[in-house]
Amino acid sequence: MRKVKFKKVKINWKSFLSYIFLIILSSFLFLDILIALPLTEKLTNITAFDLNVVNEFWSKEYILDLESDGQEDIQKTQDIIFKRLNLYGVEEVSVYQEDGNLRVVVNTSLSQMYVEELIRNPYQYSIVTRKEDIDFENEDDPYAQYMAENYNETEFNASTFRNIYVTMLPDSNGTDSYFGIAKVWPHKSKVFKQFLDSHIDEYIGINIDGFVTPMYVSDSSIFAIPLSSSKESIKAIDILYNSGSIPTPYSILEQNNLESRIININYIEVSITLFVVILAIYAYLFFTKMYSKVLLTNSLFATLLAIASMLTLLKITYLPIIPFILIIEAVFVIILTRAIITNPESRYLITGSVFVIGLIFKLLGIGYLRIIGNDLLTLSLLVLLSVIFTNYYLTNISKYFKS
Domains along the chain?
A: 13-52+263-402 (1.20.1640), 58-258 (3.30.1360.200)
Name the pLDDT band for 39 (thresholds 50, 70, 90): low
Confidence of residue 56 (pLDDT cuts 50, 70, 90): confident
CA dihedral 364, 365, 370, 375 (to 10 degrees): -70
3-class state of residue 220 by DSSP: coil
Predicted pLDDT at 12: 66
pLDDT bracket for residue 124 (50, 70, 90): very high
Among 40-44, 161-165, 293-297, where is mean pLDDT lowest?
40-44
Tell me how far apart the alpha carbons of residues 117 and 103 are, in angstroms, rounded to a whole number. Answer: 16
Residue 245: name the closest of 151, 389, 122 by CA. 122
Percent of the chain with pLDDT over 90: 51
pLDDT band of residue 114 (cuts 50, 70, 90) is very high
For residues 292 and 105, which has the higher predicted lDDT (pLDDT)?
A: 105
Residues with Cβ within 8 Å of 104's Cβ and at least 6 positions away in sequence, in order, are: 61, 62, 63, 64, 81, 85, 93, 94, 95, 119
The pLDDT of residue 6 is 53
Confidence at residue 177, expressed as pLDDT on a 0 to 100 scale: 85
250-273 average pLDDT score: 82
Contact (Cβ atoms closer than 8 angstroms) between residue 181 and residue 165: yes
Write down the pLDDT at residue 388.
Answer: 94
CA atoms within 13 A on the CB side of 217: 22
- Residue 260 CB burial class (10 angstroms; 0-12, 13-18, ≥19): middle
Model pLDDT, residue 10? 66
What average pLDDT does range 204-225 have in this prediction? 90
Q: Report the alpha-carbon distance of residue 360 to residue 369 in Å, rounded.
A: 10
pLDDT tens per residue, range 329-372? 989 999 999 999 999 999 999 999 999 999 999 999 888 999 99
- At 168, the pLDDT band (50, 70, 90 cuts) reads confident
How confident is the model over 263-273, as a mean pLDDT? Answer: 73
The model's confidence at residue 3, banded by pLDDT at 50, 70 and 90, is: low
